[in-house]
Amino acid sequence: MEEFMPLAVQFAKNHTLLVVAWVAIFVATIYVFVKSALSKVKLVNNSQAVALINNKDAVVIDLRSIDEFKRGHIINSKQFLPSDIKKHNLGKIEQHKEMPIILVCATGATANTSAEILSKQGFSEVYALQEGIAGWNAANLPLVK
């Protein structure tokens, strides 16, 4: 150990940018893990989403555009725009505050952000579909047109 420290300090001096990059990656990784652990929103895969729909009557909210929604969506899902959620314009989903809600987008990225907003607005059980409709379709699960 006595031999390691001088070598480590010398390496850090010679490769400052590399060391800073590794520290930044480490801090970012810790931040992501802590944020996801403290989040009220849960990510669900396709089979978990199906179980929520079948067993708990989860409401599926599709966040894609109307055209994308018409091309294929999960059965009984409701189309809703992320901009409406950001503006607190919750009209037709306000009645489902105490029910499980699964947010779905094209790839899963938009759903997580909107789910965080809904959770802050008082929705008790909010889920985001991990890979969105792309993952749902890749798993050959049914879509309604």
Quick: pLDDT tens for 3-52: 888 888 899 899 999 999 999 999 999 998 887 777 788 999 999 999 99
Question: Do residues 74 and 125 share a domain?
Answer: yes
Give me the pLDDT at residue 1, please. Answer: 62
What total number of domains does the chain contain? 2
> Does residue 145 sit within a domain?
no
Residues 48-73 pLDDT 10s: 999 999 999 999 999 999 999 999 99
Do 33 and 48 have their domain in common? no
Q: What is the structure's pLDDT at 86?
A: 87
Q: Do 74 and 94 belong together in one domain?
A: yes
Q: State both tokens at 13.
A: 């001096």
Q: If we measure between CA atoms, which residue out of 58, 107, 62 comes closest to residue 84?
A: 62
Same domain, yes or no: 58 and 89 = yes
* 112 and 51 fall within a common domain: yes
In this structure, the answer to whether residues 58 and 95 fall within a common structural domain is yes
**Which residue range(s) make up the domain with 109?**
41-138
Residue 73 and residue 108 in one domain: yes
pTM for the model: 0.77
**Look-up of token digits 């959620």:** 85
Q: Do 51 and 110 fall within a single domain?
A: yes
CA distance 51 to 138: 18
The reply to whether 56 falls in a domain is yes
The CATH number of the domain holding residue 73 is: 3.40.250.10
Residue 119 φ/ψ, nearest 5 degrees: -60, -40
Q: What is the pLDDT of residue 128?
A: 95
Domain annotation covers residue 143: no
CA torsion through residues 39, 41, 46, 50, sign:
positive
Q: Are residues 46 and 22 in the same domain?
A: no
